[in-house]
């Protein structure tokens, strides 16, 4: 979701924090050999207030994901939206985050982290106000995209700010642990807060609630957060950035709109063709660029490639799970938004419990066991839901939701560990950022696939036939089971001796290239 990210920083490297349970906070920049260029520390510095401010940014982005899911049925009724338009309400936000995550981290390193952080909160709050004032689905989707631009400016920058303020290694590890724990709190609060607001106020309230939180965060940022920049920055890769956005936008549009148009329609063929051409163009451009947005040599390392695929699979499962079950509980079962929000609590609670446990397991015994346990949680949850009906016992649903939460919480630590372990220290930040971007891509594709795999519930003009909805989701749950099996297989492959050797080879290749570049500069 939108807040599950870790952008590149200007620091010299990162280290894995096995005790942290959040997917994006599992890496923290190592203390640089000298302070960041242009760092300005006001006197006195209040690290605790800086940490609270950064946690507020995470609360904004993470809580917004689960709040919006709970509000989707009310939005559909109020704005007369179809199934595909509800997908765009979620994916419009995620598309911007996935496309701009790496770019925004680089901009913050160049222009100043506090400046970009405050701008991100401001843009996010402006987007929230426009969402609340929306009178049509197209306007709401546009406002959600503006929110996504703000979200892309927040979390990668917040992590860099924490690393710049907490310079002592132990204090830094504890601070990032607290920052990561805020993710679980936000996930747990989102469905309940969203349910209360929709039930007692209206769907617009789920967006208005962001504004006062954002105002407080802006005030604290301007008052207490020191400005900092990276000592070294890379040139922008404008062609690569543009091609990434076109690829993601076209493939997402094809998967969402195919429900209404069909695979043979020229519109869908056009989307797919443009998406594939942009993807091919991106690979060609990145291979020839002297400062690529994505260094394709990363993918020669099996653990890194496995981490990217696992992140896409796990977050596709996560996003599809929340999207479909929110609609199922309120549409097919007739629950109120409040009761639906309460039903998703087992997911959030189990995820919050398993996330730090996974971090400790990675630190002690490696990534294989957490990945296999994650696959088991996802797989068992999917099997329980393959027989979903409008009368499925509530107890069975809650067990399935809890198991899915366990699978989600267990997978995040090994994803980041596999992405950065063994990489040169100067490249670890970029590797972590790419892993975080792949999470957003997974959310994007998971929501898009919901319509493709649940076409049996489509009625006239994109309406939803609730009597058929539960049965129509069965293909999605079988797809979730297949994804779980694949996560398990990848978990075995990426922790093998061959995988470790491939990482060492890539690290040596990159280190040699950096040495040659340094010699040329000297």
CA distance between the termini of the chain = 43
Residue 10 in contact with residue 232, Cβ under 8 Å?
A: yes
Q: CA 10, CA 203: separation in Å to the nearest integer? A: 40
CATH code for 298-517? 1.20.1250.20
Return the pLDDT at 289. Answer: 82
Rounded alpha-carbon distances, angstroms, from residue 502 to 74, 452, 463? 50, 36, 50
pLDDT of the residue at 237: 80
**Cα(357)–Cα(20) distance, rounded to whole angstroms?**
9
Question: pLDDT at position 273, please?
Answer: 92
The domains of the chain are located at 45-225, 238-292, 298-517
Concatenating the DSSP letter of every residue in 316-370 gives HHHHHHHHHHHHIIIIIS---HHHHHHHTHHHHHHHHHHHHHHHHHHHHH-SHHH
pLDDT of residue 332: 86
Pick left, alpha or beta for residue 112 (phi over 0 → left; psi -120 to 50 → alpha; otherwise beta).
left
Nearest residue to 411 via CA among 446, 387, 375: 375
| Burial call 222-261: b when 16+ CB within 10 Å, e when fewer | eebbbbbbbbeebeebebbbbbbbbbbbbbbbbbbbbbbb
> What pLDDT sits at residue 263?
79
Question: Helix 83-111 and helix 302-327: axis angle, to 10°?
Answer: 140
Domains 45-225 and 298-517 fall in the same CATH topology: yes
- pLDDT, position 351: 86
What pTM was estimated for this model as a whole? Answer: 0.79
Confidence (pLDDT) at 32: 41
CATH 1.20.1250.20 at 45-225, yes or no: yes
What pLDDT, on a 0 to 100 scale, did the predictor assign at position 98? 85
What pLDDT, on a 0 to 100 scale, did the predictor assign at position 312? Answer: 92
Q: What is the DSSP letter of 15?
A: E
Query: Which secondary structure element, helix H or strand E, spans residue 19, and what is its range?
Result: none
pLDDT at 18: 37
- Predicted confidence at residue 432, as pLDDT, reads 67
In angstroms, the CA 400 to CA 227 distance is 45
> What tokens does 392 get?
């499925």
Burial class (CB in 10 A: 0-12, 13-18, 19+), 84: buried
Which segments in the chain show pLDDT lower than 70? 1-45, 169-170, 172-174, 176-177, 179-181, 183-184, 187-188, 230, 232-234, 420-432, 455-464, 510-522
Are the CB atoms for 59 and 186 separated by under 8 Å?
yes
Instruction: Please tell me the predicted confidence (pLDDT) of residue 35.
Output: 43
């Amino acid at each position: 979701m939108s807040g599950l990210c870790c952008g590149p920083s200007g620091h010299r490297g990162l280290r894995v924090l096995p005790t942290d349970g959040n997917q994006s906070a599992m890496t923290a920049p190592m203390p640089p050999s000298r302070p960041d260029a242009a760092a300005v520390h006001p006197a006195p510095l209040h690290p605790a207030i800086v940490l609270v401010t950064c946690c507020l940014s995470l609360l904004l982005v993470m809580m917004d994901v689960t709040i919006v899911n709970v509000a989707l049925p009310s939005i559909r009724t109020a704005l007369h939206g179809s199934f595909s338009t509800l997908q765009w309400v979620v994916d419009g936000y995620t598309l911007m985050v996935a496309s701009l995550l790496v770019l925004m981290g680089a901009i913050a390193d160049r222009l100043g982290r506090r400046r970009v952080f405050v701008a991100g909160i401001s843009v996010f709050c402006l987007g929230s106000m426009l969402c609340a004032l929306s009178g049509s689905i197209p306007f709401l989707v546009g406002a959600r995209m503006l929110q996504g631009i703000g979200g892309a400016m927040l979390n990668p920058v917040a992590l860099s700010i924490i690393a710049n303020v907490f310079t002592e290694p132990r204090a830094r590890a504890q601070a990032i642990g607290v920052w990561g724990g805020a993710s679980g709190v936000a996930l747990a609060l989102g469905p309940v807060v969203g349910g209360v607001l929709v039930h007692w106020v209206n769907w617009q309230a789920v967006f208005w609630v962001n504004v006062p939180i954002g105002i407080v965060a802006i005030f604290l940022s301007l008052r207490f957060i020191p400005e900092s920049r990276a000592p070294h920055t890379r040139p922008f890769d404008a062609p690569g950035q543009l091609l990434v956005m076109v690829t993601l936008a076209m493939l997402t549009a094809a998967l969402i709109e195919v429900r209404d148009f069909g695979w043979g329609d020229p519109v869908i063929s056009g989307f797919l063709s443009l998406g594939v051409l942009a993807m091919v163009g991106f690979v060609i451009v990145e291979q020839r660029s002297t400062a690529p947005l994505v260094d394709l040599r990363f993918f020669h390392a099996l653990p890194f490639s496995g981490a990217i695929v696992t992140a896409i699979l796990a977050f596709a499962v996560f996003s599809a799970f929340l999207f479909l079950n929110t609609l199922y509980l309120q549409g097919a079962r007739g629950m109120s938004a409040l009761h639906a929000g309460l039903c998703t609590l087992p997911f959030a609670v189990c995820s919050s419990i398993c996330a730090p446990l996974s971090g400790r397991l990675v630190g002690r015994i490696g990534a294989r066991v957490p990945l296999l346990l994650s696959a088991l949680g996802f797989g068992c949850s999917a099997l329980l839901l393959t027989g979903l009906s409008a009368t499925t016992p509530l107890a069975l649903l809650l067990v399935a939701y809890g198991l899915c939460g366990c699978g989600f919480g267990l997978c995040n630590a090994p994803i980041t560990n596999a992405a950065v372990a063994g990489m040169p220290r100067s490249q670890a930040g970029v590797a972590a950022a790419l892993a975080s971007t792949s999470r957003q891509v997974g959310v994007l594709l998971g929501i898009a696939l919901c319509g493709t795999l649940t076409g049996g519930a489509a009625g006239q003009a994109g309406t939803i036939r609730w009597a058929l909805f539960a049965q129509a989701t069965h293909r999605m749950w079988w797809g979730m089971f297949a994804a779980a099996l694949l996560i398990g297989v990848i978990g075995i492959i990426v922790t093998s001796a061959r995988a470790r050797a491939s990482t060492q080879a890539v690290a040596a290749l990159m280190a040699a290239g950096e040495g040659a570049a340094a010699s040329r500069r000297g």
